[in-house]
Amino acid sequence: MRKRRYKSTLTRNYAIAAFGMLGIIILSIVFMFFRLSFYINGVDKDNLLPKLSARDIFAEDFSKMNTKDLEREGGWVEVLDDQYKVIFTKGKKNDSVTQYDRNELINSLLKDDKTKGATYNSVYAFRGKDGRDYLCIVKFSSLSGQVNEALKPHINLNFNRKDPVDRLIINALAESALLLLFMTILFFILFSKITSKTVTKPLTYIREGLDKMTKGDLNTRIHFDAHYEFTEIKDSFNYMAERLQTSEREREEAEKSKKRMIMDISHDLKTPITSITGYSKALCEGMALDEESRKKYLSYIYDKSIRMTRLIDDLFRFSKMEDSEFKLNKQPSDIVEFLREVIALNYGEIEVKEIELDINLPQEEIIYSFDKVELDRALTNIITNMVKYNPKGTEAFIELVEEEGIKIRIGDKGVGMSKDLKATVFDAFVRGESARKTDGGTGLGLAIAKKIVELHGGKIHLETEEGKGSNFTIELPI
């Protein structure tokens, strides 16, 4: 499954954040209108409009008449007796009329006379406690749009906390603003927490993995499901950990091999040196009384010297091949004829051991580029092992076939090898039990053979079973 890139996820998250904020704003607006409706339904609707008519303003106690809205709009209230004389005024009176004519007063109520000081009148007739008739008149000083605006619900941008409508609007706006702020903070906290997990979670795994790696735990691997970029980091981390673990394992194996090699070299050199020292001392001290004994001691010294020389030569050859600068001297030649020559050179030992050898080689020549000296050494080491560690009369075969490259097979139906020996037979200084019970070889023969084959770009395989024989297959690429 293809992982989503983090860039596309960020784009999606930004879109979610934008739509989320839009939803919060719309919800806050809806809440504001809901609260306004709730407030308005819960209060006296008559109080929502300014008290500007004479009927609304009138109170039996004239001094307690509520002229606050009227005065704010530039008007005032007058009380007239039954003779139309002004007996009480509240508010800032902007004309000098103290006595009204009945007809004039009626005409002013029936039409808006812009030529006179009182531009608008509202009247309320009532009977006083003394049984007399009175009039309550509301007057304005000008008509310049003031009256019409005054009669509208008192809603404008210049809020006055003393105004009931303004108070409702202010309360609704305040609650909506608080709701908007709370929901915005809550939204971004939740949004940030959810979004950050896509980054912090994989980073936490990576940090923990690095901490374990720095403490030497090379078995550390990190596993999580995340975006493409983090998955690449995870895979790179695991690949790096695998390489480090492999390198550490190879280093440990090399250290063990080095220690084992030093111990084996010391052992293999110590044995002949001890023998040489002993026999030399015997000769020096005249312990060999006759000529035959002296020749026998000298023969022991010679044999041990030859073994030491062979061991040192093989060790030098093996170390030289381990050097990255070691190069083969490859020349094109007939590899079939070359293999015949190798068999011929080793045929004396094969005959002495009475090995029943079956040779199967092509009649036609096969030209191949190889190093004759080194490949001869590799084949001779394998043939020598086959002859040395198998009993007399063992059946064996050597064949060369050309199939997907060149394959050289050297096998026998002899003693074979144990599973433990098979696993390490190509390592340096590894020898079987029969080799250890005798003076054996150096334990480097098959290690050198394997190295030579690999330097030719080939592979060497071993199929063996204890008591049933061993088959070596060398594969050389064309």
- Whether the pLDDT of residue 34 is over 50: the answer is yes
Tokens of 459: 């592979």
Give the pLDDT score at 413: 92
Q: Identify the residue with better confidence: 47 or 411.
A: 411
Contact 459, 391 (CB under 8 A): no
- Whether the pLDDT of residue 117 is over 60: the answer is no
Cα separation, 426 vs 476, in Å, equals 18
Per DSSP, the three-state class of 187 is helix
Cα separation, 152 vs 186, in Å, equals 40
Residues 6+ apart with CB under 8 A from 3: 226, 227, 228, 231
Phi-psi domain of 15 (left: phi exceeds 0; alpha: psi -120 through 50; beta: other): alpha
pTM for the full model? 0.47
pLDDT, tens digit, 9 for 90 and up, residues 317-362: 777 777 777 888 999 999 999 999 999 988 888 988 899 999 999 9
pLDDT, tens digit, 9 for 90 and up, residues 63-113: 888 888 888 878 899 998 888 899 999 988 888 888 888 887 777 666 544
- How many residues are there in the chain? 478
The candidate with the shortest Cα–Cα distance to 164, out of 11, 27, 47, is 47
The candidate with the shortest Cα–Cα distance to 449, out of 344, 260, 321, 346, is 321
Would you list the DSSP string of 310-369? HHHHHHHHHHHHHSTT-----EEEEHHHHHHHHHHHHHHHHHHTT-EEEEE--SS--EEE
Q: Give 357: exposed, middle or buried? Use CB within 10 Å, 0-12, 13-18, 19+.
A: buried
Residues 6+ apart with CB under 8 A from 424: 430
Cα separation, 119 vs 144, in Å, equals 10
CA atoms within 13 A on the CB side of 446: 25
The candidate with the shortest Cα–Cα distance to 78, out of 58, 60, 50, is 58
The candidate with the shortest Cα–Cα distance to 396, out of 310, 460, 472, is 472
Contact 350, 387 (CB under 8 A): yes
Bridge-based pairing of strands 331-334 and 367-370 is antiparallel
Give the pLDDT score at 39: 62
What's CA 370's distance to the chain center, in Å? Answer: 49
273 confidence band (pLDDT: 50, 70, 90): confident
Q: Identify the residue with better confidence: 380 or 159.
A: 380
Residues 6+ apart with CB under 8 A from 226: 3, 198, 201, 202, 234
Per DSSP, the three-state class of 425 is coil
Phi-psi domain of 116 (left: phi exceeds 0; alpha: psi -120 through 50; beta: other): beta
The candidate with the shortest Cα–Cα distance to 318, out of 134, 133, 447, 420, is 447
149 confidence band (pLDDT: 50, 70, 90): very low
Partners of 79 in beta bridges: 88, 136
Cα separation, 435 vs 228, in Å, equals 58
